[in-house]
Amino acid sequence: RHNINITAIAQGASERNISFVIDAAQQARALNIIHQAFFEIRKRLSLVVIGVGNIGSTLLGQLRAQRSHLLARGFDVTVVGLANSKKFVLNPRGIDLARWRQRLAASRRRMIPQVLAREISKLELTDAAIVDCTAAESVVAAYPDFVRANLHIITPNKRANVLPRSEYAALMELLQSRQKYFLDEANVGAGLPIMSTIRDLIASGDVIKRIEGIFSGTLSYLFNNFDGSVPFSALVKDAWRRGLTEPDPRDDLSGQDVARKLLILARQAGAQLDIADVDVETLVPPKLAGGPFSERFFGALARFDDKMAARLKRARSHDAVLRYVGSLAGGRARARIQEFRWDHPIAMTKGSDNIIAFNTKRYSQTPLVIQGPGAGPDVTAMGVFSDILKLLHYLPH
C-alpha cells in the first residue's frame, strides 16, 4: 500500500518479532508507517493544497474551522504544503492556517509541479494527498509524478477527467497500480453529491438509463431569468457585469463546460467517449466565436436577440420554458436548449441552481433528482472537504 519493496522477511520462532530488509533510502518512511500503525490513535492525513484562489482559500478556512471537530473524531489533518501559480511552500510539521498567506508570500520556491512532487516525496510522509484547486493543465500533467510520490489526488479541477481517452486510461491505471485514490466530487455540481451518487448506483448494480439536467450555474441563471422582458444579450451583459459568468462569457455560452461535465458522467457510466463525441449546441454565433473578448461582444450578440425571442415565444405557445440542458442516454451525450412544460422539475429551477435527474433501472417511475447551487466557493470547497473525509475513511487505521 505504501510502495515499500520488502526484499526479504523472516518471522522469529518466538512469533514475537519480524525482521525485514528494505532499501535504506526508504528507511525513514517505513519507520513512520510502522510507528503510525502501532502507536497512533488518530488517523493522520497530510495535504498539499495547490491553488489558493476562491476554492483553495475557502477550503483552508473550512479546514481551520473544523480542526478540533476532526481531531475529536480521530482525524489529524495537517496542511503541509501550499502553492499558487508562482510559489510553493512546504513544512512537514504543518503550516499555521491562521498565517498561510504570509507563509506562502515569504517562500522563495518557484512553483514547478514536478519539482513540488519531488520535494514532497523527500518529506517521507505516510498518508498524504494533493488537493488541486487550480484549473491548470500543467498541474494535471504532473499528476503521474504526484502519484509516484505516493500521493492521493483530490480535486475540483475537471481537466484530468476530460483528458483524451488514452491519457485518462493511463492515469487511472497508474492510480490503481499504486493503490492511490482519485477523488473528484466537486467536478460536477460543486458540492452536490453527483459523482458519488453515480458511482454508488453503478457499484450497487443499478443500470443508468438516462441522465438529464442543468449542469451550468450561469446558463441556469440566464434561462431562469429569460422571460422576454429583456433581450437575451442584455441579460448576458447584466450577468457578466455582476460576475455571474466567466470573465469571457463565451466560455459559458459555448456549452463546453456542460459538455465536459457530461463527458465526466458518461465515463463514469462506462461510455468510451471523448469531448468531441459530445453533441453541443453553442449559444455563441460562429462569427463571434473567435478573437479576444471585449464589451463590444454584447452589441454583436444583440443581432441574434430576435432568434432567441422567437424560440421563447414558440416554447410559450406549448406552455413551456427554455432551459439549457445536458443529457446522456444510450451512449450519446448532448448539450442544447430544450423546451420543458411549466410543471416539469427542470422548468421549476431558481437562481443559478443545478438539477440532475438520474433515470435508472431502479429509479424508473420517478427519477432520483439532486438539486441545489452548482457553483460558489463555500459549496465547492465543501465538496472537496467531503472528499478529504472520504479519504480519511478509506485509509486503514
Ligand X SMILES: NC(=O)c1ccc[n+]([C@@H]2O[C@H](COP(=O)([O-])OP(=O)(O)OC[C@H]3O[C@@H](n4cnc5c(N)ncnc54)[C@H](OP(=O)(O)O)[C@@H]3O)[C@@H](O)[C@H]2O)c1
Catalytic residues: 261
Contact pick of 59, 77, 123, 133 for ligand X (by CB under 6 A): 133
Shortest distance, position 109 Cβ to ligand X, whole Å: 12
CB 79, min distance to ligand X, A: 14
The secondary element (H helix, E strand) that includes residue 83 is strand 75-83
Binding mask 82-101 for ligand X (x = CB under 6 A): -xxxx---------------
For 79-102, b/e burial (b = at least 16 CB within 10 A) is bbbbbbeeebbbeeeebebeebee
Among 79, 104, 129, 186, binds ligand X (CB under 6 A): 186
Beta carbon of residue 307, minimum distance to ligand X (angstroms, whole number): 30
Question: Looking at 4, 22, 136, 175, which residue binds ligand X (CB under 6 A)?
Answer: 136
Q: Which residues contact 83 (CB under 8 A, 6 or more apart)?
A: 48, 49, 50, 51, 52, 89, 104, 111, 116
Asked if 107 touches ligand X (CB under 6 A), the answer is no
Residues 32, 78, 150, 157: which binds ligand X (CB under 6 A)?
Answer: 157
Give whichever of 27 and 85 is closer to ligand X, judged by the CB atom: 85
Cα–Cα dist 282/254, whole Å:
4
Least Cα distance to 394 among 177, 172, 139, 127 occurs for 127
Q: By CB under 6 A, is residue 321 in contact with ligand X?
A: no
Q: How far is the CB of 381 from ligand X (least distance, A)?
A: 9
Size of the site for ligand X (CB under 6 A): 26
Query: Could you say whether residue 138 binds ligand X (CB under 6 A)?
Result: yes
Residue nearest to ligand X (CB): 53
- DSSP letters, 99-114, are SHHHHHHH--EE--HH
Place of cell 442584455: 234
Nearer Cβ to ligand X (339/353): 353
First CA to last CA across the chain, in angstroms? 13
Residue 384 · residue 154 · CB < 8 Å: yes
- Contact between 55 and ligand X by CB under 6 A: the answer reads yes
**How far is it, in rounded angstroms, from Cα 305 to Cα 166?**
41
Binding residues among 351-390 for ligand X as defined by CB under 6 A: 375-377, 380
Close Cβ partners of 229 (under 8 Å, ≥ 6 residues apart): none
How deeply is 37 buried, as exposed, middle or buried, from its count of CB atoms within 10 A (0-12, 13-18, 19+)?
exposed
156 is a contact residue toward ligand X (CB under 6 A):
yes
- Rounded Cα–Cα distance for residues 45 and 127 (Å): 5
Residue 328 near ligand X by CB under 6 A: no
Q: Tell me if 388 sits within 8 A of 131, measured CB to CB.
A: yes
Q: Which is nearer to ligand X, 186 or 320 (CB)?
A: 186
Residues in CB range of 323: below 8 A, 6 or more apart? 214, 220, 223, 337, 338, 340, 346, 347, 349
Residue span binding ligand X (CB under 6 A) among the ranges 49-57, 61-69, 305-313, 328-336: 49-57
> In terms of CB distance, is 111 or 325 closer to ligand X?
111
Residue 52 Cβ vs ligand X, minimum distance, rounded to whole Å? 5
Q: Smaller CB distance to ligand X: residue 92 or 376?
A: 376
Binding test (CB under 6 A) with ligand X, winner from 59, 70, 104, 111: 111
Stretch that binds ligand X, among 44-52, 123-131, 142-150, 220-228 (CB under 6 A): 44-52
49 binds ligand X (CB under 6 A): no
CA distance 33 to 126: 6
Give the span between the Cα atoms of 162 and 386, in whole angstroms: 22
Q: Give the interface with ligand X as residue ranges (CB under 6 A).
A: 50-56, 83-86, 111, 133-136, 138-139, 156-157, 186, 190, 375-377, 380
